[in-house]
Structure 1
Amino acid sequence: MPTRLTHTRPKGLAIWLILAGVIGWFAAFQLTVEKFHLLANPGASASCDISFLVQCGKNLNSWQGEVFGFPNPIVGLAGWVAPIVVGVAILAGARFARWFWWLLWAGMAFAFCFVLWLISQSIFELFTLCPWCMVTWVVTIPSFYAVTLHLLRSGVVPAPDAVRKVADTLMGWVPLLAIVSYAIIALIAQLRLDWISTL
């Protein structure tokens, strides 16, 4: 017997998806503009190149910055539209089928895994902290947590009632989960790059 769906109009999640989508899209747009600037002006510095450690240029010009054969920010320009549309649709009264929620989760899981890989590359291979990239990290991580917990609490993912209750409780703790995640990333970056001494 299918699990009964609840939380079919998660307004809080919808507002977050819109906010995160707009912030993520803007960061991707800024990185795209910087990439165009660097392509048009070889040897120039990006406007977000603040120091040897905090910069966008090295990331944009690396192979990690073009994993799919084109600049990574283009993925963000296309991808961040989805949560914006989903959030607006929820606020407008839309209710989605399970398969739709699974597709949204798959997209968020891809973004989350991709961001984790980019974080590792930035810290351990490129030795930089890209400002606009970090903005993307800041919104991707809690977005993945929120969508995952929503799928569990709502019954989209079949789970025992106890698991659904825990997911519903944790939904209110997403900001703290995100802050803990940021702190772990900051600690790893400090141990590897000693970024505090450059402030």
Structure 2
Amino acid sequence: MSLAVAHPPGPDARTRILDATEAIIRARGVAGLTLEAAAKEAGVSKGGLLYHFAGKETLLHALLGRMAEWMRQDFAATVERQPEGPGRIARAMLDWGFGAAPGVVDERCDRAAAVFLACFHHDPALLDPARAVVAEIRAAIATDGLPPGHGQVIMAATDGLFMARIFNLYTPSPAELGAMHATLARLLETSP
């Protein structure tokens, strides 16, 4: 009888390659990304990388597709935690933008920011999958049962906080964040 402990399998090669690509982009930007560097970081041969991704563009496209799908799923999960009724999408946007746990939004913003900025600099069309998710959220907010502009203001405010963070324009204090959150939440209270 073997007493060996079964360990869950590690990420597959494709996932390791995408994780490695993200790490390289976060550390050095797209200019620092080579197929050789991504393969080495992922622990695969260059041929192994090319088996999954035909080149740098394919790799970047897959990375943005993965991030867009994560955005879609994460936002959908945030919506599911909201009570039914008018303003459900806007409440989710408020929670998604401000976060329930300190530091969680910061890590998510930092990961997305590095990838978005680097890929935008390389080829703005690479952001199309993320743009599609944002368009879906905007469409949902438009039919959320709130007075015109209420949900859009919440989305614009949370987007603005994201931009302030990724461009290091300013860092709101906890008191400022609390006041902004409360102000935006009042828009939901005045809705039907």
Give me the TM-score of the superposition, normalised by structure 2: 0.32
Which gives a bigger RCO, structure 1 or 2 (Cα 8 Å, sep 6+)? 1
Give me the TM-score of the superposition, normalised by structure 1: 0.31
Bigger radius of gyration, 1 or 2? 2
